[in-house]
Amino acid sequence: MTADDFDSTINVRARAQRPIIRALQLIPFVAGAIVALGMCMPDATANLFYRGALVTAALLTAVSALMTSAGFDRGQKLFAAWSALGIGYALAAIRHSFRLWTLLVGGGVTSRAVLDTMLVLQNVLVALALWWFVRAWQTSGLAAPLPRRTQLTWIFLGIAVAIVAGGYPLVHGFQTAATDTVLLISTAGDMIGIALIVPLAMPALAMRGGLLMHTWLALAASEVFWLLYDVWVGTKAMTGLGASTATGIEQILRIIAVMFAFAATVAHRRSRL
Amino acid sequence: MASGKSPAIVVQELLGQYMGPFTSKYAVQISSRKAFGAEPEAVTREQIPALLEELGPSIRTLLGKASAEKLAGQILLELGL
């Protein structure tokens, strides 16, 4: 018997999962549309709304990533990758919760040392996670060899984009490291993620038509939106837009970036048997 | 086999649901050459378990051990092995 003689269980399952996994890619834009409502709110309310949305998105992503990691054995690269992503976003959720608490009732955890440590760990873990996703594909034995020149071209292109997007904030961060660790660490973490956009997109391209494509595609999309976020933060002052609109766009881009990471976690679970 | 498709090509198509037809074709081709020194079309039905064994590490990397074993099991079942 072959796959042509009957509709195989595998084909049936894949056909059932495919539209669900595709639909996951809409979730980030729905989340962005919801966050856009903040632009209609008074500033103080909008701040609370944006922060609450971010905490929710980060928490959902953290929980989902850790659920996905449970499908792998310790020692597997994707176990490490999903776990690191989950813990990174959990730290983000906790950190933003502290800030939300302070906004709502005052007080709470306001120690710069605590918040900055969490930020550093978050950025390190997410950058590591993305690197492990790239390495998992590269060491899977499935990556068809590209000509060396093509590989290097894509790598340097990714690094160049990362430098252009993050160069100024990174230099500024180094100059003000004593007073603005947040900018320095956040930018460095973002630059690593941006430099990995192409290495994350290439497995998606190689696996086009397969259920697993969507996981790597969503991860790459997440980093694309972090890139757009960084570019927006660096250029919004030049746009002449009002503060609440500029902030709203910033928050929309951020939520979309986080929710693409969430979509990736669910897409991978849905792809598995 | 009723339709005349070689068993390795059937494996390739079923794996393609997960890793896409381009990657599954590459994976089956490389594994067939490595395991048997033959192209996928020449792999016999009896050699399929060994082919899946060769593909195992790659599939486990992407899907995890449990899912990879389930997938391999289903492929063998559907090939009547």
Domain residue ranges of chain B, discontinuous segments joined by + = 7-78
Domain residue ranges of chain A, discontinuous segments joined by + = 16-271
Per the CB < 8 A criterion, the answer to whether A213 and A207 are in contact is yes
B81 and chain A in contact, CB less than 8 A: no
A3 and B27: CB-CB below 8 Å? no
Q: How confident is the model at residue A230 (pLDDT cuts 50, 70, 90)?
A: confident
Nearest to residue A97, comparing CAs of A120, A115, A84, A85?
Answer: A115
| pLDDT tens-digit map of A122-179 | 999 999 999 999 999 988 988 776 677 887 787 788 788 777 776 766 666 666 655 5
Q: Per-residue pLDDT for B16 more than 80?
A: yes
Min CA distance, A145 vs chain B (Å)? 10
Q: How many residue contacts between A and B have a Cβ separation below 8 Å?
A: 118
- Lowest-pLDDT range, A57-66, A111-120, A123-132, B13-22? A111-120
Q: Per-residue pLDDT for B1 more than 50?
A: no
The token pair at B58 is 């790659």
**What percent of chain A clears pLDDT 70, i.e. is strictly above it?**
90
Chain B residues touching residue A9 (CB < 8 angstroms): 74, 77-78
User: Which of A4, A71, A206 minimises the CB distance to B64?
Assistant: A71
Mean pLDDT of B11-26: 94
- Lowest-pLDDT range, A4-13, A106-115, A215-224? A4-13
> Would you state the pLDDT for residue A171?
67
Which residue stretches of chain A are H helix? 9-24, 27-36, 43-69, 77-105, 112-138, 148-175, 181-195, 197-206, 213-235, 243-271
ipTM above 0.90, yes or no: yes
Q: Per-residue pLDDT for A4 more than 70?
A: no
Nearest to residue A245, comparing CAs of A17, A65, A43, A29?
Answer: A43
Mean pLDDT of A185-213: 87
Chain A residues touching residue B45 (CB < 8 angstroms): none
| pLDDT tens-digit map of A215-228 | 999 999 999 999 89
Q: How far apart are CA A244 and CA A114, in angstroms?
A: 29
Task: Report the chain A residue with the minimal C-alpha distance to residue B61.
Answer: A140
> Would you state the pLDDT for residue A164?
77
The one-character DSSP state at A248 is: H
| pLDDT tens-digit map of B33-57 | 999 999 999 999 999 999 999 999 9
What stretch of H or E contains A5? Answer: none
- Beta carbons within 8 Å of A91's beta carbon, 6+ residues apart: A118, A119, A121, A122, A125
> Would you state the pLDDT for residue A169?
64
Q: How far apart are CA A123 and CA A175, in angstroms?
A: 20
Q: Which one of A140, A208, A217, A268 would you mutate to disrupt binding with B, by most B Cβ within 10 Å of its Cβ?
A: A140
User: Which of B16, B27, B66 minimises the CB distance to A71?
Assistant: B66
Min CA distance, A10 vs chain B (Å)? 7
A2 and B21: CB-CB below 8 Å? no
Nearest to residue A245, comparing CAs of A29, A57, A46?
Answer: A46
The token pair at A72 is 């792998």
Which residue stretches of chain B are H helix? 7-36, 48-63, 65-78
A273 and B57: CB-CB below 8 Å? no
Q: Per-residue pLDDT for A113 more than 70?
A: yes
Interhelix angle A181-195/A148-175, nearest 10 degrees = 170
The token pair at A240 is 């002449």
Q: How confident is the model at residue A187 (pLDDT cuts 50, 70, 90)?
A: confident
The token pair at A41 is 């709110």
B37 and chain A in contact, CB less than 8 A: no
Q: Per-residue pLDDT for A5 more than 80?
A: no
The token pair at A268 is 């991978």
Q: How far apart are CA A249 and CA A205, in angstroms?
A: 29
A16-271 adopts what CATH topology?
A: Rhopdopsin 7-helix transmembrane proteins (1.20.1070)
**What percent of chain A clears pLDDT 90, i.e. is strictly above it?**
59
Nearest to residue B71, comparing CAs of B29, B15, B25, B23?
Answer: B15
DSSP character string of A119-144:
HHHHHHHHHHHHHHHHHHHHTTT--P
Per the CB < 8 A criterion, the answer to whether A206 and B23 are in contact is yes
Mean pLDDT of A6-14: 81
Most confident region among A51-55, A121-125, A148-152, A230-234 by mean pLDDT = A51-55
> Would you state the pLDDT for residue B2?
43
Chain B residues touching residue A78 (CB < 8 angstroms): 61-62, 64
